């Protein structure tokens, strides 16, 4: 299997942007969005004016072919080149890391299991990264993920594409384009790439009208939710309602029912984050977060 990497080099120098699809093989929207962008550049519908654009439609080709999240190891954890290669994904690390070493800006496109719309994981506190993230046209942001759940044990478990890219000095954003099978997920990813190009002044303005896309339009009100706690599923427990990602809950409102009939109330006014209907007992089931002003 080979990893397909497409590079576009307009003659004018400028920022290096890398866009990744299908880091998780069962998340198809990113691959579709990236492939569509490449096709649109090839037929001059999208015109680049400067910089370097690197596109990887499918970062994990075997997982993509098999329709699974990963083959032997989650490619978006423990991402760094390894001397001893024990898992299939270990062979992809140096390819992806090599690419990210040479990039200044990363857009990594994913989708998720819960019902819900697009959102962005905010990582660092870099004002330039925040401005870039806010320019992608997505209304919702999840903050504090790595602080709350990133291990903190000194291992590089939580190091995925964005963490690795940031460690090499890049601005990096993970965009979750919505539920895996949302009809608009690929379109959201495609628009986000165009918006990233526009934000970085890499897109020729002349092509915007033909595209029929208003990349400068505001995303409207943008809101942030800070992760507070994780709930693991207990045997026999069930949701109080069929939650969607980012549903709001009032303090004291039932979030879930435990097997004995005991109610699990919301600790304060907040939001249900990434609820997984099909989580097995002991697995991460959902997260609880509260509204937070976006930094910057």
Tell the smallest beta-carbon distance from residue 41 to Zn ion (Å). 25
Binding mask 89-128 for Zn ion (x = CB under 5 A): ---------------------x------------------
Toward Zn ion, which CB reaches closer, 24 or 233?
24
How far apart are alpha carbons 55 and 39 in whole angstroms?
A: 11
Toward Zn ion, which CB reaches closer, 40 or 163?
163
Residue 63 C-beta-side C-alpha neighbours within 13 Å:
26
The arrangement of strands across the sheet holding 238-239 comes to 238-239, 254-257, 263-265
Toward Zn ion, which CB reaches closer, 173 or 256?
173
How far apart are alpha carbons 254 and 97 in whole angstroms?
A: 44
Binding mask 49-78 for Zn ion (x = CB under 5 A): ------------------------------
Toward Zn ion, which CB reaches closer, 46 or 79?
79
Toward Zn ion, which CB reaches closer, 268 or 284?
284
Q: Binders of Zn ion among 23-42, rule CB under 5 A?
A: 24, 27
Tell the smallest beta-carbon distance from residue 50 to Zn ion (Å). 30
Toward Zn ion, which CB reaches closer, 63 or 200?
63
Tell the smallest beta-carbon distance from residue 24 to Zn ion (Å). 4
Tell the smallest beta-carbon distance from residue 117 to Zn ion (Å). 16
Tell the smallest beta-carbon distance from residue 61 to Zn ion (Å). 15
Toward Zn ion, which CB reaches closer, 24 or 166?
24
- Residues binding Zn ion: number (CB under 5 A): 3
Toward Zn ion, which CB reaches closer, 184 or 204?
184
How far apart are alpha carbons 193 and 173 in whole angstroms?
A: 11
Binding mask 217-256 for Zn ion (x = CB under 5 A): ----------------------------------------
Handedness of CA 240, 121, 227, 291 (dihedral sign): negative
Residue the block writes with tokens 């963490």? 163
Whose CA is closest to 58, among 76, 35, 91? 35
Tell the smallest beta-carbon distance from residue 295 to Zn ion (Å). 24
Q: Which residue is nearest to Zn ion (CB)?
A: 110
Tell the smallest beta-carbon distance from residue 27 to Zn ion (Å). 5
Tell the smallest beta-carbon distance from residue 57 to Zn ion (Å). 15
Positions in the binding site for Zn ion (CB under 5 A): 24, 27, 110
């Amino acid at each position: 299997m080979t990893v397909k990497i497409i590079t576009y080099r307009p003659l004018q120098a400028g920022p290096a942007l890398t866009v990744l699809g299908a880091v998780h093989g069962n998340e198809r929207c990113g691959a579709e969005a990236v492939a569509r962008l490449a096709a649109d550049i090839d037929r001059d519908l999208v015109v680049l004016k400067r910089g370097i654009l690197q596109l990887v439609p499918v970062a994990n080709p075997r997982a993509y072919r098999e329709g699974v999240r990963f083959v032997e190891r989650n490619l978006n954890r423990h991402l760094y080149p390894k001397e001893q290669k024990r898992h299939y994904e270990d062979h992809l690390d140096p390819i992806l890391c090599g690419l990210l070493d040479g990039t200044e800006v990363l857009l990594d496109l994913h989708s998720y299991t819960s019902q819900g719309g697009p959102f962005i994981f905010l990582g660092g506190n870099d004002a330039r990264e925040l401005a870039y993230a806010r320019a992608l046209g997505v209304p919702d942001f999840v903050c504090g993920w790595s602080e709350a759940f990133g291990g903190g044990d000194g291992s590089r478990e939580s190091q995925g594409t964005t963490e690795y890219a940031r460690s090499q000095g890049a601005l990096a954003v993970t965009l979750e384009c919505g539920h895996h099978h949302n009809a608009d997920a690929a379109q959201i990813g495609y628009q986000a790439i165009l918006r990233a190009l526009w934000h970085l002044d890499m897109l020729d303005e002349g092509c915007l009208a033909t595209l029929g896309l208003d990349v400068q339009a505001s995303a409207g009100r943008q809101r942030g939710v800070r992760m507070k706690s994780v709930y693991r599923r207990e045997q026999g427990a069930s949701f109080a309602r069929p939650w969607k990602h980012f549903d709001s809950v009032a303090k004291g409102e039932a979030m879930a029912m435990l097997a004995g009939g005991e109610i699990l109330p919301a600790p304060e006014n907040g939001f249900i984050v990434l609820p997984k209907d099909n989580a097995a007992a002991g697995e991460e089931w959902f997260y609880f977060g509260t509204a937070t002003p976006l930094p910057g």
